[in-house]
């Protein structure tokens, strides 16, 4: 829902100022249409339905994986595809994976989104409407900006949308923004956001040559500079940064690679999340044993590490698989 459009439309109708808040409250509680907003006069409900689209993005298809994960494909008004995922965990966690762009201009070699055509930045409303879509189905409590796109290339819309997530029941502490280390946006996030929103950094290789090969963006913003920004975040916010590291067989998964990672970061400021590779073409994923060996090298260096649970792989809803192929 375009809140600016809602506000001007209500003002044009001569409605009192509290109406915007009233409509938004109904929306964040998961109603399916204006018609269900029973505290609004009937004529106003009909007027809004004609003037302010209930969602800025249109649902195209939705699929459910065997593990309960749901992936939705949306289209923007100007035709760009956007995917978002709802992950359901047995402990009751309901986590949304939101997209910040349609496609992605960065060409990380292992990521399917990086291989699709870049569309454009999404607006804050288009990001929130992904979350609202799932909110209409059930209560949600976590969000990660780990869908399509690089959040810090679209920092205004990402931060504006994150500021509204608490209205949907997702607190800043349960919101995580993931970045490749796009420094201008990262710096603004560190400087401007006082809320305890969490930060995740996609590293994938601690060695600059190797990292540049996997993530061309590393040539522009080398890891050392990115890590310095992350340390500033840790100082200011007093929370650790999550490090994401996708495990590619024979590429970045040797004990030497683990040692290089352990040397680049420290366990006081960082926590590593090892990601089993979800096949998208070019690479093979590391074996479970290799991942465990990598993890134990980190732990010996006193760096906390976990292995990410893969969700929704059978519907191409897992990390790196969002490319709206269907
Ligand atoms: N651009 C941001 C936000 C996307 S997050 C970022 O890269 O951090 C998506 C996460 O999934 C990133 O950590 C990314 O490296 C990881 N990923 C990409 N392709 C993957 C794949 N095929 N298998 C597993 N993880 C992948």
183, 203, 215: which is closest to 261 by C-alpha?
A: 203
176 in a structural domain: yes
Reply yes or no on whether the pLDDT at 326 is more than 50: no
Q: Using a 6 Å cutoff on CB, does residue 154 contact ligand 1?
A: no
Reply yes or no on whether the pLDDT at 115 is more than 90: no
Average pLDDT in the 26-43 region?
Answer: 97
320 in a structural domain: no
Range of lowest pLDDT (160-164, 193-197, 315-319): 315-319
What is the predicted pLDDT for the residue at 116? 87
Q: Which two tokens stand for residue 43?
A: 């004529």
**pLDDT per position as a tens digit, 279-301:** 888 899 999 999 999 999 999 99
74 in a structural domain: yes
Phi, psi of 15 (to 5 degrees): -80, 150
Q: For residues 166 and 134, is the Cβ–Cβ distance under 8 A?
A: no
Active-site annotation holder among 7, 15, 83, 316 = 83
323 in a structural domain: no
Q: Using a 6 Å cutoff on CB, does residue 150 contact ligand 1?
A: yes
Q: What is the CATH number of the domain that holds 39?
A: 1.10.150.530
- Do 273 and 237 lie in a common domain? yes
**Known catalytic residue: 292?**
no
- Do 85 and 28 lie in a common domain? no
What is the predicted pLDDT for the residue at 171? 98
Average pLDDT in the 112-116 region?
Answer: 87
Ligand 1 pocket: which of 84, 113, 146 to mutate (most atoms <8 Å of CB)? 146
- Do 33 and 93 lie in a common domain? no
Average pLDDT in the 111-132 region?
Answer: 95
24 in a structural domain: yes
- Do 36 and 86 lie in a common domain? no
- Do 3 and 86 lie in a common domain? no
Q: What is the three-class DSSP state of 314?
A: helix
Reply yes or no on whether the pLDDT at 1 is more than 60: yes
Q: Using a 6 Å cutoff on CB, does residue 202 contact ligand 1?
A: yes
Question: How many domains does the chain divide into?
Answer: 2
- Do 165 and 199 lie in a common domain? yes
Reply yes or no on whether the pLDDT at 222 is more than 80: yes
**pLDDT per position as a tens digit, 165-190:** 999 999 999 999 999 999 999 999 99
pLDDT > 70: what percent of the chain?
99
Q: Using a 6 Å cutoff on CB, does residue 252 contact ligand 1?
A: no
Q: For residues 282 and 114, is the Cβ–Cβ distance under 8 A?
A: no
- Do 258 and 133 lie in a common domain? yes
- Do 33 and 94 lie in a common domain? no
322 in a structural domain: no
Q: Using a 6 Å cutoff on CB, does residue 30 contact ligand 1?
A: no
Q: For residues 301 and 266, is the Cβ–Cβ distance under 8 A?
A: no
Going by CA atoms, what residue is nearest to atom 4 of ligand 1?
Answer: 146
320 CA distance to ligand 1 middle (Å): 5
147 in a structural domain: yes
Nearest ligand 1 atom, CA 104: 1
324 in a structural domain: no
Q: Using a 6 Å cutoff on CB, does residue 146 contact ligand 1?
A: yes
What is the predicted pLDDT for the residue at 325? 57
Q: What is the CATH number of the domain that holds 209?
A: 3.20.20.70
- Do 48 and 90 lie in a common domain? no
**Known catalytic residue: 319?**
yes
Domain boundary among 38, 54, 70: 54
- Do 102 and 161 lie in a common domain? yes
Range of lowest pLDDT (51-55, 92-96, 113-117, 257-261): 113-117
Active-site annotation holder among 97, 104, 111, 319 = 319
**pLDDT per position as a tens digit, 236-287:** 999 999 999 999 999 999 999 999 999 999 999 999 999 999 988 889 999 9
User: Rounded CA gap, 164 and 49, in Å?
Assistant: 22
- Do 4 and 137 lie in a common domain? no
- Do 181 and 40 lie in a common domain? no
Which range marks the domain in which residue 234 is found?
56-315
């Amino acid at each position: 829902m375009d809140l600016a459009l809602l506000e001007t439309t209500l003002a044009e109708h001569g409605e009192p100022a509290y109406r915007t808040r009233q409509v938004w409250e109904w929306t964040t509680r998961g109603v399916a249409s204006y018609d269900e907003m029973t505290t609004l006069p009937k004529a106003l409900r009909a007027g809004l339905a004609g003037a302010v689209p209930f969602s800025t993005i249109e649902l195209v298809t939705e699929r459910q994986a065997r593990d309960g994960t749901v992936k939705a494909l949306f289209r923007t008004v100007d035709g760009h595809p956007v995917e978002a995922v709802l992950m359901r965990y047995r402990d009751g966690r309901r986590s949304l994976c939101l997209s910040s762009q349609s496609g992605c201009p960065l060409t990380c070699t292992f990521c399917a989104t990086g291989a699709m055509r870049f569309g454009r930045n999404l607006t804050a409303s288009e990001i929130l409407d992904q979350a609202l879509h799932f909110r209409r189905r059930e209560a949600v409590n976590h969000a990660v900006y780990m869908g399509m796109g690089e959040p810090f290339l679209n920092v205004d819309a990402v931060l504006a949308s994150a500021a509204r997530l608490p209205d949907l029941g997702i607190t800043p502490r349960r919101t995580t923004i993931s970045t490749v280390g796009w420094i201008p946006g990262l710096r603004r996030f560190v400087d401007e956001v006082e809320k305890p929103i969490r930060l995740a950094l996609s590293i994938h290789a601690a060695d600059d040559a190797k990292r540049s090969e996997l993530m061309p963006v590393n040539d522009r913003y080398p890891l050392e500079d990115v890590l310095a920004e992350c340390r500033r975040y840790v100082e200011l916010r007093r929370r650790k940064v999550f490090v994401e590291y996708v495990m590619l067989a024979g590429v970045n998964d040797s004990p030497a690679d683990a040692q290089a990672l352990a040397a680049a970061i420290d366990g006081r400021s960082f926590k590593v999340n090892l990601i089993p590779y979800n096949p998208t073409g070019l690479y093979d994923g590391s074996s479970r044993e290799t991942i465990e060996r990598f993890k134990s090298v980190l732990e010996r260096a006193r760096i906390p590490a976990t292995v990410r649970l893969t969700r929704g792989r059978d519907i191409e809803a897992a990390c790196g698989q969002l490319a709206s192929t269907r």
